[in-house]
Amino acid sequence: MLYQIHEWQRAFLGPLSHFAEAGAKMLNDPASPLAQWPGVERWAAGYELMHRLGKDYEKPEFNLHQAVAHDHEIAIVERVALSRPFCQLKRFKRFSDDPDTIEKMKNDPVVLVVAPLSGHHSTLLRDTVRTLLRDHKVYITDWVDARMVPVDQGTFGLDDYVAYVQEFIRHIGAESLHVISVCQPTVPVLAAISLMASRGETTPRSMTMMGGPIDPRRSPTSVNNLATRQPLSWFKGNVIHTVPSNYPGAGREVYPGFLQHAGFIAMNPSRHLNSHWDFYQDLVRGDLDDAESHRKFYDEYNAVLDMPAQFYLDTIAKVFQQFLLPRGVWDVAGERVDPSAIKRTALLTVEGELDDISGLGQTEAAHDLCTGIPAKARAHRVIEGAGHYGIFSGRRWRETVYPQVRDFIRQFDQRKA
């Protein structure tokens, strides 16, 4: 019922948002006589703020069409390498008309970025991908909004996530692959590679784990506490809802994106309130650069997706309540997850000093589990002054984190072995 109420609210706010958008454009248009009225800047700013507070935020595009690789401008074409009901494996194919650049790009390492399925779209890692494209062939997991997946495609749980990661690794080719997992997927990625190693399969050359809850018992954050404050039955009864009839996934049980978004806002409401007030003031002053930065951030931040109910509940129970991975008692599809079986895959863990989502030590815990990896093939980095998002996006990522990730990958790339 809550989902249907949300849809009614959306239907009510939609026309008002469009009206406000039209009003803002009319008052901002230099050709309009209304734009000459005294104080019109405040009216226009108010209309745009109303529009942005009431509008729908659709999934953003990656919009990665150009990049710089080996000191040359190159073209980027986004392709679907493999499609599954709940995820698309995407590749960002690089092109150049410079023969030397082409030859260098052929020898670049191959990287699979495993994006979180935790409310935001994979485009949240746009800056991660853009930076990696300088020196790597890049793939990414692009998760599908569960409300868009018909019920006849079946359910999707944490075990299925692990199976998807394994399928993507095999499709690309583990023998020359480097895997980077950001936040939530550090757990299923470690499970996927552990199971492949236990079976005697070829595993990736390296795995880089960034800001993830390998062992949430270490330095628990408010996110960890929220997951343990209530029993699993509470989550089933209060945050799981059914997709209404106006979506392809009608009837599917999900953890709705609008609830996750409300949770994001509730973590720091004053910050978001101040940000919107600053946006209004920027529009009034005519500070268009800062106003555009606000638009870009919230176009991404406010675009959320529904998570399959089984996956969400599995994550709450197995990762945050039962701690199955660090306790060594996690079975995936009947197979025990044993990280000590990994021997040929190098391990780099990265944490932010000020991370308020995955506390210090939670990702580093992977080293205590991966005892089969030689010490010389393992490394841990703590990024001073960085919060959760700073380790994979923004200036700190580009200038501090990325060079270390790049050098670690190069050290263990096949051509360097």
Whether 98 and 224 share a structural domain: yes
**Residue type present at position 184:** Q
Whether 220 and 103 share a structural domain: yes
* pLDDT computed for residue 416 by the predictor: 44
DSSP reduced 3-state for 252: coil
Whether 83 and 222 share a structural domain: yes
Render 308-358 in DSSP notation, one character per residue: EHHHHHHIIIIIIIS-HHHHT--EETTEE--GGG--SSEEEEEEETT-SSS
The mean pLDDT value for 220-227 works out to 86
Domain final residue pick, 273, 301, 329? 301
Whether 218 and 340 share a structural domain: yes
**pLDDT, tens digit, 9 for 90 and up, residues 382-399:** 999 999 989 999 999 999
Whether 145 and 162 share a structural domain: yes
Q: Does any domain span residue 44?
A: yes
Whether 38 and 24 share a structural domain: yes
What is the rounded CA–CA span in Å between residue 366 and residue 348? 9
* pLDDT computed for residue 35 by the predictor: 65
Q: What percent of the chain has pLDDT over 70?
A: 98
- Looking at the predicted structure, is the pLDDT value of residue 417 above 60? no
Whether 106 and 169 share a structural domain: yes
Tokens of 412: 């263990």
Whether 156 and 222 share a structural domain: yes
DSSP reduced 3-state for 251: coil
The 3 state secondary structure assigned to 12-29 is HHHHHHHHHHHHHHHHHC
Whether 104 and 218 share a structural domain: yes
* pLDDT computed for residue 185 by the predictor: 97
Whether 282 and 323 share a structural domain: no
Q: Does any domain span residue 242?
A: no
CA-wise closest residue to 121 among 81, 151, 90, 98:
90
The vertex-84 CA angle with 92 and 86, nearest 5°, equals 100
Strand partners, 336: 331
The total of structural domains in the chain comes to 2
Whether 173 and 118 share a structural domain: yes
Whether 93 and 146 share a structural domain: yes
Q: Does any domain span residue 245?
A: no
Question: Residue 108 is part of a domain; what is its CATH number?
Answer: 3.40.50.1820
Bridge-based pairing state of the strands 72-84 and 66-69: antiparallel
* pLDDT computed for residue 346 by the predictor: 98
Q: Does any domain span residue 247?
A: no
- Looking at the predicted structure, is the pLDDT value of residue 363 above 90? yes
Q: Which domain holds residue 47?
A: 2-56+257-301
Backbone angles phi, psi at 345, to 5 degrees: -100, 120
Q: Does any domain span residue 246?
A: no
* pLDDT computed for residue 414 by the predictor: 66
The total number of residues shown for the chain amounts to 417
* pLDDT computed for residue 211 by the predictor: 96
Query: Tokens 């980027």 map to which residue?
Result: 76
Q: What is the spatial order of strands in the sheet that 241-242 belongs to?
A: 241-242, 253-255, 307-308
